[in-house]
Amino acid sequence: MSDYTLRQLEYFVAVAEAGSVTRAAASVHLSQSAMSAALADLENALSVQLLVRHHARGISLTPAGKELLVASRQLLASAADLRAVAQGLGTSLSGTLSIGCFQVVAPYLLPELLAAVAEKLPRLHLHTTEVDLADLAEGVANGTFELGIGYDLVDDPRLKRWPLFTLPPYVLLSGEHRLATRDSIDLAELADEPMVLLDLPHSRDYFQSVFAAAGVTPNIRFRSTTVETCRALVGRGLAYCVLNLRAAVPTALDGHPVAAVPISGDPPSLTVILLDAVAARPTRRAGVVAELCRTLFANPPGV
């Protein structure tokens, strides 16, 4: 059996991600025939079919191809790590590290992380992608992301979880609301008032648990998939909202004042976590950035 090469694995990953031999070949500046030959050589070397070619409809991965895709991403990341060490870069890490981040958390955490990496690890490039929680979990598990940052709301045995900080929920009110200056609020006091729900998969179930713990059924008048739209509706006095991460400024994007008031009692909290894959051997880059995340985010932002 002939040996496979890292280059063949790179081409295989490119095709799997592009969903087409033609598009992948163009992305790596290779002819389609050369790309096809490299894939055929890889399949021959491994004695397994990795791709199914569909006329005019690109490719799909076989079950073996899906498994190899995860392993290939891990091996290529480790190879890049080895290359950096061999070049004698010492503590000056280089290359690219791919990080997935839950879209709600991203505006609060990614700017600080990117700034810290630019200062402390100037040769390292972070490739960040903002996704929902399901795509975050899948991306970390299949090797698309070496690390992930999000809420601990997805139970996936393929993932390792590292807690960063915990966030209790709070009520966001218009700055002119009758309860805006209170030290805390019982959710029952808002039962009849209109609410805007941050309506994302997993998140909506969490918010339901907060109200269930208080024995309250919220009057959901509006729904949005973005925090800033929720904050804008609150600032206009149209509704209240329950959130976890706090903005550093007491206004919505359009300048209307808002007030964050803690919920009385002991409502269910959310934990922000760092994720990596159980099956992966962390690269040196990933280990250094993971430790940097733990240092940067030892305390919740905005409080």
| 51-83 pLDDT tens trace | 888 876 788 888 888 888 888 887 887 777 676
Burial of 47 per CB tally in 10 Å (0-12, 13-18, 19+)? exposed
- Model pLDDT for residues 217-244, shown as the tens digit of each residue: 999 999 999 999 999 999 999 999 999 9
Q: What is the pLDDT of residues 10-29, one digit of tens each?
A: 888 888 888 888 888 888 88
In sequence order, what are the beta bridge partners of 272? 151, 165
pLDDT(4) > 70: yes
202: left (phi over 0), alpha (psi -120 to 50) or beta: left
pLDDT at 52: 86
Q: What is the pLDDT of residues 122-160, one digit of tens each?
A: 989 999 999 999 999 999 998 899 999 999 999 999 999
pLDDT grade, residue 88 (50/70/90)? very low
Neighbours of 75 (CB within 10 A): 16
In b/e form, how buried is each residue of 117-126, taking b as 16+ CB within 10 angstroms? beeebeebeb
Provide the 10 A C-beta neighbour count for residue 164.
Answer: 20
The pTM of the whole model exceeds 0.85: no
What the chain holds in terms of domains, given with CATH numbers, is 6-64 (1.10.10.10), 92-166+271-297 (3.40.190.10), 169-268 (3.40.190.10)
Sign of CA dihedral 24, 26, 28, 31: positive
The pLDDT tens digits for 148-201 are 999 999 999 999 999 999 999 999 999 999 999 999 999 999 999 999 999 999
Rg (CA), the chain: 23
